[in-house]
Homo-oligomer: A and B are copies of this chain.
Amino acid sequence: MELTILGSNSAVPIFDRHPSAQVLAVGNHLFLIDCGEGTQMQMMYHKVRYHRITHVFISHLHGDHYFGLIGLLFTMHLQGRTQEIHLFGQQELMDTIELQFRLSATELRYNLIFHPIRHFNSQIIFEDEQVKVKTVILNHRIPCTGFVFIEKPESGKLVIEKLKAYNVPVELYHRIKEGESYITETGEEIPSSVFCLPPPDARQYAYCSDTLYSESIIPEIQNVDLLYHEATFMDDMAHRAETTFHSTTRQAAAIAAKAGVKKLIIGHFSSRYRNLEPLLAEAQEIFLNTDLAIEGRKWKV
């Protein structure tokens, strides 16, 4: 998996920082996660090939998380896209999209398949052979969900010496790798695990923006490799964070520590901060392996 940040400012674009948007390359997919105003320009600037996007996930209906979506969908249409696109978000998201298509008398050339998100409990909203996506219920002023992207592990590696020791025919290697037992000529059943190393752990990326400090999300993001957690404010603005349903740097770091994640990225910065280094320093006091969500930066999981 590879994550690219396209925008990580909160609310208002400023200091050449843009509203929330990021892309996650996983398996054959390119996932777009939130899509603030100007995301299509940011994609051009950072050389993200937006025609490759297959699925779009919108966390909630504050404008800094979705105002760029309608323009991107139109651009795809105008540039002749025919491949379907899957859109995940609150039910009302599709109302605004459909209204704006209707007003411009546009009949999309591609199939836009909408998947409404229920925000009452964490759910698996997408799954194929390569990846699984589940929601995380966040605590914001309006219904808001985070997402955990779980790349399914490849099956464990075969150990050829073991296969040869049991005279396993080559044509069965594939099935044993998939987990089937081997039945010897004498009828003995040898489990797959005799021939295979255990599969690697599933790689996981969790996106949590926007939210109050909320320990209830910890079970959903436990041990993920990479966590993006909003940190709109510094610690001295904890009261303001609470009244606006946002988090502070220390709160984001505390969640990362308690959930045992491997790395934390903080973002969704308030426009009051021109210099972001103090936010990073504050988060690192609690969770050392923290990065800033700088636009254009990439993380491999």
Contact = CB atoms under 8 A, between A and B. Distances in A.
A90 B13 CA distance: 28
A1 to B, nearest CB: 28
A63 B67 contact: no
Sort chain A's interface into a size bin: 20 to 34
A40 to B, nearest CB: 6
A68 B13 CA distance: 12
A41 interface: yes
Contacts of A74: 11, 63-64, 67
Interface string A138-159: 0001100000000000000000
Nearest to A36: B71
Given A37-B38, A41-B13, A68-B37, A96 B105 contact: no
A279 to B, nearest CB: 20
A109 interface: no
Contact of A100 (B12, B38, B63, B104): B63
Nearest to A11: B78
B40 A104 contact: no
A78 B9 CA distance: 14
B44 A13 contact: yes
A79 interface: yes
A292 to B, nearest CB: 21
13 contacts: A11-B74, A11-B75, A13-B44, A37-B67, A37-B68, A38-B41, A63-B70, A63-B74, A93-B103, A95-B99, A96-B99, A96-B103, A99-B99
